[in-house]
Amino acid sequence: MAVAGIDEFSPVFAIAVAAELAGMHPQTLRQYDRLGLVSPTRTAGHSRRYSMRDVVQLREIAALSAQGLNLEGIKRILELENQVSALGARVRELEHALADELLARPGRRVFAAGTAGEVVSLRAGVRAERSNQVVVWRPLRRS
């Protein structure tokens, strides 16, 4: 939720405040910045400004470090998490585009899976036939 134009990505915290919120020393934040684990925004005077998202990431780094991971391993995990988030956003974007396209073109063909796994073409508004067979399973009796 954004308040007065501020959201989780707004760079509002100076390094001392971000370090306190993350439970770390400011020098640790500088080291993580140099290593690329967190990338705060810079002001015109080159001061670091951290967002709430940066603070959350710093806490995650601390938790992973406490579990015994080294900084290179942590960096790789963060890169993969960011990649997964980006791919998830792209999937949602494509799902919306597909839904918009389907709504814009009513009457197009619809496909379903048949009982044997084959692809069945259906007219829009028609349901696929379903099997109403009942299968009873009885365990083998051992003597």
Four-CA torsion 64, 68, 70, 71, nearest 10 degrees: 20
Question: 116 in a domain, yes or no?
Answer: no
The pLDDT assigned to 108 comes to 62
Tally of domains within the chain:
1
Q: Is residue 106 part of a domain?
A: no
Q: What is the domain range of residue 21?
A: 15-100
Q: Is the residue at 129 inside a domain?
A: no
CA 26 to chain centre: 29
In this prediction the pTM is 0.62
User: Is 69 inside any structural domain?
Assistant: yes
Q: Quote the pLDDT of residue 2.
A: 53
Provide the pLDDT for residue 49: 97
Residue with tokens 């960096």: 75
At residue 3, the pLDDT reads 61
Sign of CA dihedral 28, 30, 34, 37: positive
Kindly give the confidence (pLDDT) of every residue in the chain, 143 residues in length, as a single tens digit, with 9 standing for 90 and above.
556 678 888 999 999 999 999 999 999 999 999 999 999 999 999 999 999 999 999 999 999 999 999 999 999 999 999 999 999 999 999 999 988 887 777 666 677 777 777 887 776 666 666 666 666 777 777 76
39: left (phi over 0), alpha (psi -120 to 50) or beta: beta
Six token digits for residue 136: 């009873």
Q: How many other β-carbons are positioned within 10 Å of the β-carbon of residue 51?
A: 20
Residue 63 is part of a domain; what is its CATH number?
1.10.1660.10
Residue 65 falls inside a structural domain: yes
**In degrees rounded to 5, what are phi and psi of residue 114?**
-80, 180
3-state percent helix, strand, coil for the chain, nearest multiple of 5: 45, 10, 40
Which DSSP category does 112 fall into?
E
Question: Contact 47/10 with Cβ under 8 angstroms?
Answer: no
The alpha carbon of 62 is separated from its chain's Cα centroid by a whole number of angstroms, namely: 20
- State the pairing for strand pair 48-49/119-122: unpaired
